[in-house]
Amino acid sequence: MSRPDVDADVVRRAQRGDLMALHEVLDALTPYVRRLCGPIALQDAPDAAQEALTRAR
């Protein structure tokens, strides 16, 4: 499983509250988080992925 490719500067901007940068980070993380949640949460995987991404904020 490949890890998401997010520029470090974008991550820093997201951490400082830049909503566009946060959106970019979440876009990059979403497929990865979904792949992780699938085998763990089974039929609740979409909800688990959404909860994980919400916590990433």
Instruction: Go through the chain and tell me how many residues it has.
Output: 57
The two structure tokens encoding residue 7:
């520029």
pLDDT at 55: 86
**Rg of the chain (C-alpha set):** 12
pTM: 0.75
Question: Residue 44 — pLDDT band, cuts 50, 70, 90?
Answer: very high
Query: What pLDDT is recorded for position 43?
Result: 92
Q: Given this model, what pLDDT does residue 30 score?
A: 92
Confidence of residue 1 (pLDDT cuts 50, 70, 90): low
List of residues 6+ apart from 5 with CB closer than 8 A: 28
Give the tens place of pLDDT for each residue, 10-38: 999 999 999 999 999 999 999 999 999 99
